[in-house]
Amino acid sequence: MKIQRNQIKISIMVLILVIIVGAPFLYWFVQPAKAMDVVIIDKTVPVNTYREHKGFMWILNNLKITNGNSDQAFKYEEDYYGFSPLANEKYTLREVPEDIGKPDLIYLTDTYGVYTDDLYTNNDQGNRSGLIYGGTQEKEVTTISNALDQNMIIGEFNILASPTDSQARAGLESIFGIKWNNWMGRYFSDLSKDNIEIPVWMKENYAMQYGKKWDLTGAGIVLVNADDTIIVLRNNVELGKGLNTINFSDTGENEFQIKNNTHYYYWFEIISADKDTEVLANYKLDVTDAGHKILDQYNLPSEFPAITRTTGPYTSYYFAGDFADSKSTPSIYNMSGLPFLNRITTLDEDSNQNYFYWNVYDPLIEKIISTIN
């Protein structure tokens, strides 16, 4: 009898464990799905990680937003326009059609493109090579403009810089109500020359500009102009302990209920907002007096828009940073509560932006999507 009682206890404990583990999956499956017509454009897909749009698609799938064309979950490898890598150094191009109708949402991200060294070699050092495909085209801007009517568009770094030409850029700036000032930057947790994430061209341009080799150490932010001018803000020298944070306005904080003053550790652009454009959040570079002097030399602000919005015939959001690019996108999405679990368990580490993804980007996209009828 004692053995039977123990077996019953074990069975009950196993059942409880199964219920606890399975409940989030079951709850997700019983929730109703919502079909949405979403056009996603991503031209920077040199390998099949799909990291420039995967983070966005994952949120759609987790929210049970289905592809309006197939009524299925979004597929990272095919439900977008842009560059598509294949095996054996082959690829296909999914060109944006001239008429995309009036989709519920257009998501335009990273049209920097794919270059020969990206596709044919493991280009960890970021060597510059010949362009295979990339840049936002004027005809694509026209297509997007014609599609905007009582719907929404989200634009995200890097759609304005080269190889996008000036006319296409001007068209995009008009759509989003912003202006790019030709500067972008990135935080590096390790500025040493051995860090493979620091591109070769960055170190070479630094050497030409300052007449000395790149011999930096520690962490810091590197700012780069479209003309290849380099500025380095070193931690504890030109940059204070606050580094770079995203600070929501009172309106933005109340509306989105997102953790404020979060560190941001990746690529960003320095932009300005047009008069009628709402700035929902700003970057704030915590520069020292020495850092301010350097920024002043180049007429650069220490605080500038990170997230903007326009409303009118359509709604636009612009993210002046590589927000969706995260290495922490889970392999599964069909589980309720997974974003919350990641928010409370992910650490704020300056070597990645996983904390930012779960505490800012994910809830931001969730809130934006919830406003689409």
Both 168 and 26 in one domain: the answer is no
- Tell me how far apart the alpha carbons of residues 54 and 274 are, in angstroms, rounded to a whole number: 30
Q: In what order do the strands lie in the sheet with 268-273?
A: 230-234, 220-225, 178-188, 268-273
Instruction: Pick the closest to residue 43 from 131, 119, 122, 135 (CA basis).
Output: 135
Number of Cβ atoms within 10 Å of the Cβ of 37: 16
**Whole-prediction pTM value?**
0.93
- Tell me how far apart the alpha carbons of residues 122 and 190 are, in angstroms, rounded to a whole number: 21
Both 194 and 225 in one domain: the answer is yes
Enclosing domain of residue 6:
1-30
The pLDDT assigned to 122 comes to: 60
- Tell me how far apart the alpha carbons of residues 24 and 349 are, in angstroms, rounded to a whole number: 28
Both 103 and 25 in one domain: the answer is no
Both 13 and 107 in one domain: the answer is no
Both 301 and 362 in one domain: the answer is yes
- φ, ψ of residue 82 to 5 degrees: the values are 145, -150
Is residue 195 within 8 A of residue 350, CB to CB? The reply is no
Both 12 and 150 in one domain: the answer is no
Both 9 and 76 in one domain: the answer is no
Number of Cβ atoms within 10 Å of the Cβ of 179: 16
Is residue 333 within 8 A of residue 76, CB to CB? The reply is no
Encoded amino acid at 341, one letter: L
Q: What is the DSSP letter of 341?
A: H
Stretches in the chain below the pLDDT threshold 70: 1-22, 120-128
The pLDDT assigned to 117 comes to: 79
Q: What is the CATH number of the domain that holds 165?
A: 3.40.50
Both 361 and 317 in one domain: the answer is yes
Both 20 and 97 in one domain: the answer is no
The pLDDT assigned to 126 comes to: 58
**What is the domain count for the chain?**
2
The pLDDT assigned to 254 comes to: 93
- Tell me how far apart the alpha carbons of residues 76 and 292 are, in angstroms, rounded to a whole number: 42
Both 7 and 51 in one domain: the answer is no
Both 164 and 277 in one domain: the answer is yes
- Tell me how far apart the alpha carbons of residues 129 and 26 are, in angstroms, rounded to a whole number: 49
Both 63 and 21 in one domain: the answer is no
